[in-house]
Structure 1
Amino acid sequence: MKFWQKICLFSIITFIVIFNAASIMVIERNHSKMLLQEINNTLSANMSINSSVNAIVPILRIYDSIDYEKTVLTNIAQEFVEKNSGQGNYLEIAGEQNKTIYSNLDFDMPADREEQKGLQPDEIKYILRDIDSRTMLFTTNVTDINQKSYVFTYVKDVTPLYAERVEQYRLFVQIDIAACLLYMIVMFFISKGLTKPIENMVRTAKEIAQGQFSERVQLKSRDEIGILATNFNEMASVVEDKIIELERNNSAQQRFINNITHELKTPLTSIIGYANYMRTTKYDEAAFLEGVNVIYNEGKRLEALSTKLMDLILLTDRNPLMKPDNLKDIVSEMESSLRLIASAKAIELELLCEDSPLVAEKDLIKVIIFNLVDNAVKASSEKGRVTIRTAKRGDDCVLEVTDEGKGIAEEHIASIFEPFYMADKARTRNNNGAGLGLSICRSIAELHHGVIEVSSELGHGTTIRVIFGQPNRAIEVSGT
């Protein structure tokens, strides 16, 4: 059963129970009040008869005649009946041995008269009885006249009261049916309206489960369901970001596997080819030396590749030993080796370094500087210029390496820090590179809570800026 159906069903059941119970209580209470009022009126009428009889008792004692007593009592009864005629009033006066003195009853008096048992003078008892299809209220009292007991029974037909109750129940049933039908219709639309946002969330959840991670619940209400929808959308956004990140990581991992396979295949093919050539042909000193040189160079290339891969793996799980240092001093220590790298292409190396205190592991910072300068030299043309800057910027330390080389296309900037990614594959191959240097730089920057920024323009050069900041800084790569 759906949620809206549960809301509709349980609310209808609750309404029916409460509405019917309340209506029945009202009808019964009203009937009880009217019946009690009728009983009080009937008892008052009986007392009136008794008062009339008591008023003439002294006269009856003077005459002390049974016939006279019967005549007087009959006259009193007839006068009372005529006064209350047409109202369902009945009166019976019985003397000794239950002999009837007066009666206008149109029904047979029941044989068992419980109200007469133990009846005392000046006492009135009443009882309700069903006579045929009517309900009668019997009130009885006894009066002693000249040492003779006379029983006065005043009967009131209260059938209209019960008929009124039945009519009220009949009307109530009609109203009840109409009210329940109307309530069902209203609750149908209310329950559907209340649960529509939930149905939207269920539908959106199904679409997200089917891979449409950008779907969101469109709901602007401020109630609890609106808050739930907002939290649901936030959760969906987090899930979408995680899925995108996983897909990006999977793609990067697959590219890593493809690239490392390719990097290993090229030197191995050369090694295996020359080894097989030397194994299957007659000895020729020139060919032998050429093959040995190729095998040696390709072996060194594999060694360099494995070393860089090992560095990259170790950096992932490394906990560096940080010590206070200065970026300017670290660059100064490396100046001679950096100028040696630049001299290979007659490149001018310019150092614009300011004091930049930094808590870091010096050897890892040297790796960053060496890789960035090496890449800058490789990207530069003969007799170009590479500039190294260090500066203090607020609480941050900045290392900046700028070249005047070919530059990097905008579409490549976001990917240059991936392992084996090479924007200029020909240049990298010619320089025996594998595309791991910038990946190592990024890992080292992460260990030092650094931010890497890249600014490049084709034909005008590239600037790579490493900003060493506070421990809560995130790693960013940006390009302009």
Structure 2
Amino acid sequence: MKLWKKIFLGAFLLFELVFNFASLYLIQYHFSMNLNKEIERSLTEQRVIQSGLQTNGTYINEKLGFPQSVVRDFLRITFQEYTSYFDQKGVFIELLDENRQMVYSSFNKSFVGTRGELEVHPSGLRNYVIRDIGEKSYLFVTSGLALEEDHFLLTYVRDITDIYTDRSAQFNLFFKLNAVTMLILGLGLYLLLWYLTRSIRSLTRSAQIIAEGDYSQRVHIYSKDEVGILARNFNRMATAVEDNIDKLKRTAEDKQHFTECLTHELKTPLTSIIGYADLLRSTKYNEELHFKGLNYIYTEGKRLERLSFKLMDLILLRKEELIGTREDARELCTEIAASFLPRLESEGLALVQQVESSYLTVDRDLFKVLCTNLLDNAIKASTEGGRIMLQGHADGDGGYVLEIVDEGNGILEEDLEKIFEPFYMVDKARSRSHQGAGLGLAICAEIVRLHGAGIDIHSRLNQGTTVKLTWAGVYN
């Protein structure tokens, strides 16, 4: 059973239990109060009648000296007067002698059964009993009445049917009211709980969809209460899960791509090496052929060596923690530029250096590797007579910017997003001719990450490329 249905049944049954108990208790309490009032009233009126008869009978017998027969006649006349007074009020009077023979009675209802209220001593306390006769209920109150030598039993009878009728009417009203209340409460509570738990239902559906693999699913937030907070936290969790899944997918794809590229990079030189080795093994000695074959084997072997070194650098950089020192950017760039002068002269290129002095917290060797790879790429992209700019200056936010600008072939916009991937080459033919493996920029990206710096590349085809390195929070 769903939670909101459990809440509905629990709340509905609890309300019904409390409402029924309270209503029945009030009805019974009201009935008991009315019944006690009628009993007290009947006991009082019976006592008044008894006292009046006791006083008048004694006066007639003792003061006036009338015989007992006159006293009995007096009692009958008195009872007739009482009857004419009480008859309209549903009150009746009975008088029995000591042998329980009826002397006078205004109560004309007959019933079967013993009369327990008569079991009293004539001079003792009063007894009362409630008795149902036909469809009515009567209260019988009996006490002794002593007149000299004669002893009687005086019974006061009151019709209390209205009290029971009123209780039955209240019960009928309660059952009708309870039926209407149950209907309204049940419908209202059902709709209210269904409305309030819509976020939970949405949360359940979203969880099922996410469990099936659709991590883009989100919960619609209907409220700002605890359920709404739960829905928002669930959406945050789903976003985090989706991001992590995407990262894992990208990592898996990168690993697959890395493996495929590595396999390809190893296969090409190995195929050449095996082919030339087999050729040298299966042909007669020829100095020119053997020199050419051995030279090719040596060249491809060195290429594999460089590839292995770069792969090792890339792996180590991802595991390394930077321990930097304060270095002057101008001095470092001057040393790096000096190491490229022979190559620049041979390529017919000019390097223009405009680097402001500023102290950076860097790893000296890694910084040189970073700039060397970037300058190497700029040289490879440039043509004879071209110019390469090495510029460094402070920015307006207290940081430092180092730029390497060339006037070479440029990079297509769709290739810019992939240039930091290992083994990715924009121009594979040119990279092969320069013995490149597509790992230089991947290594640069890792070095920049270790320094907490930023790298940004802007390029236009046949107009050149600008690589911008940014260090934040540099103080000269």
What band does the TM-score fall into relative to the shorter chain? over 0.9
CA distance in structure 2 between the aligned counterparts of 1:120 and 1:357, rounded to whole angstroms: 125
Question: How far does residue 258 in structure 1 lie from its aligned partner after superposition?
Answer: 0.9
State how far apart, in whole Å, the 1-side matches of 2:311 and 2:403 are. 25
Q: How far off is 1:51 after superposition?
A: 3.7
Q: Which moved more, 1:147-156 or 1:29-38?
A: 147-156
Q: How far is 1:117 from its partner?
A: 3.9
Residues 433-454 of structure 1 show CA distances to partners (whole Å, capped at 9, x for unaligned) of 1111111111111111111111
**Does the 8 A contact of 1:455 with 1:463 survive in 2?**
yes
Structure 2 equivalent of residue 429 of structure 1: 432
Q: d(CA) in 1 for partners of 2:222 and 2:379?
A: 57
SS at match of 2:142: strand
C-alpha displacement of 1:87: 4.1
Contact in 1 for aligned 2:411/2:465 (Cα 8 Å): yes
In structure 2, relative to structure 1, the CA distance for the partners of 1:323 and 1:118 (3 Å cut) is farther
Q: Which segment drifts farther, 104-113 or 29-38? A: 104-113
**2:146 match:** 144
Question: Match of 1:70, as an amino acid?
Answer: R
1:358 to 357, 360, 367: 360
Q: Is the 8 A contact 2:120 2:126 kept in 1?
A: no
Where does 1:243-322 land on structure 2 (aligned, <5 Å)?
243-322=245-324
Partner residue of 2:402? 399
Between stretches 358-367 and 322-331, larger displacement belongs to 322-331
Structure 2 distance, partners of 1:13, 1:53, is 59
Q: Tell me, in whole angstroms, the C-alpha distance in 2 between the residues paired with 1:49 and 1:109.
A: 27
Which letter does structure 2 place at the counterpart of 1:312? L
Report the Cα distance in structure 2 between the residues aligned to 1:383 and 1:115, rounded to whole angstroms. 141
Provide closer, same or farther for how the CA distance between residues 427 and 82 of structure 1 changes in structure 2, counting only shifts above 3 A: same
Question: Hey, what does 1:178 align to over in structure 2?
Answer: 180
Alignment match, 1:371? 373
Checking the alignment, whether the CA contact within 8 Å between 2:132 and 2:138 is kept in structure 1 is yes
Q: Which residue of 1 aligns with 2:230?
A: 228
Distance 1:341 1:146 in 2: 155
Whole-angstrom CA distance in 2 between matches of 1:136 and 1:12: 41
AA aligned opposite 1:450: A
> C-alpha distance in 2, partners of 1:70/1:342?
155
Give the structure 2 partner of residue 101 of structure 1. 103
* 1:317-366 deviation line (CA, Å, top 9, x unaligned): 11233212121121122221022332231111011111121112100111
The alignment status of 1:468 with 2:467, answered yes or no, reads no
**1:313 maps to amino acid:** I
How far residue 187 of structure 1 moved from its aligned partner, in angstroms, is 2.3
Q: Which runs of 5+ in 2 are unaligned?
A: none
- Name 2:343's counterpart in structure 1: 341
- Asked if the contact 2:329/2:359 (under 8 Å) is kept, the reply is yes
Letter of the 1:459 partner, please give it. Answer: N
Q: Which amino acid aligns with 1:139?
A: V
Cα displacement (A) at 1:137:
1.6
Shift of 1:224: 2.2
Q: Hey, what does 2:52 align to over in structure 1? A: 52
- Cα 1:213–1:449 change in 2 (3 A) is same
Code of the residue aligned with 1:410 in structure 2: it is E
Alignment of 1:73-112 (within 5 A): 73-105=75-107, 106-108=109-111, 111=114
Question: How far apart are the structure 2 equivalents of 1:64 and 1:282?
Answer: 177
Q: Which amino acid aligns with 2:472?
A: G
Q: How does 1:434-445 map to 2 (within 5 A)?
A: 434-445=437-448
Distance 1:470 1:17 in 2: 71
Q: Separation in 2 of the partners of 1:373 and 1:51?
A: 133
Indicate yes or no: 2:214 matched with 1:242. no
- How big is the shift at 1:44? 2.7
Contact preservation (8 Å) 1:204, 1:215:
yes
Moved more, 365-374 or 150-159: 150-159
Residue 439 of structure 2 aligns with an amino acid whose one-letter code is L
Deviation at 1:298, TM superposition (A): 0.3
CA distance in 2, matches of 1:174, 1:246: 66
**Is residue 117–residue 142 contact of structure 2 (8 Å, CA) maintained in 1?**
no
**Aligned counterpart, 1:35:** 35
Contact 2:326 2:359 in 1 (8 A): yes
Distance (Å, rounded) in 2 between the aligned partners of 1:382 and 1:160: 123
Superposition deviation, residue 58 in structure 1: 2.2
Percent of pairs with identical residues? 38
Residue of structure 2 in register with 1:478 after alignment: none
Question: Is contact 1:449-1:470 (8 Å) kept?
Answer: no
Match 1:72 to one of 71, 74, 89: 74
Deviation at 1:304, TM superposition (A): 0.1
Asked if the contact 1:42–1:139 (Cα under 8 Å) also holds between the matched residues in 2, the reply is yes
Aligned to 2:450: 447
Relative to structure 1, the CA distance from residue 460 to residue 60 in structure 2 (aligned partners, 3 Å threshold; closer, same or farther) is farther
Asked whether 1:17 is paired with 2:20, we answer no
Equivalent residues of 2:122, 2:152 under 8 A apart: no
Deviations 1:275-327 (A, max 9, x none): 11111222222111111011100000000000000011111111233212121
Question: For residues 148 and 42 of structure 2, what CA distance do their matches in structure 1 show?
Answer: 27
Where in structure 1 are there 5+ consecutive unaligned residues? 472-480
- Sort the Cα spacing of 1:41 and 1:109 in 2 relative to 1 into closer, same or farther, 3 A: farther
* Correspondence 1:416 to 2:419: yes
Distance 2:122 2:378 in 1: 128
Task: Give, in whole Å, the separation in 2 of the partners of 1:74 and 1:17.
Answer: 56
Cα distance in structure 2, aligned partners of 1:351 and 1:74:
145
Q: Equivalents in 2 of 1:160, 1:114: separation in Å? A: 22
Instruction: Pick from 324, 328, 331 the counterpart of residue 329 of structure 1.
Output: 331
Q: Which range is displaced more, 372-381 or 130-139? A: 130-139
Amino acid at match of 2:9: L
SS of alignment partner, residue 283 of structure 1: coil
- The one-letter code of the counterpart of 1:430 is S
- Cα distance in 2 between the residues matched to 1:114 and 1:338: 132
What secondary structure is seen at the aligned counterpart in 2 of 1:218?
A: coil
Q: Which residue of 2 aligns with 1:5?
A: 5
User: Which secondary structure does the structure 1 equivalent of 2:79 belong to?
Assistant: helix
SS across alignment from 1:84: helix
| 1:188 paired residue among 190, 206, 219 | 190
Which of 110, 113, 116 is the equivalent residue of 1:113? 116
- When the two structures are superposed, what TM-score results if normalisation uses the length of structure 1? 0.91
Q: Distance in 1 between matches of 2:353 and 2:118?
A: 127
State the match for 1:458 in structure 2. Answer: 461
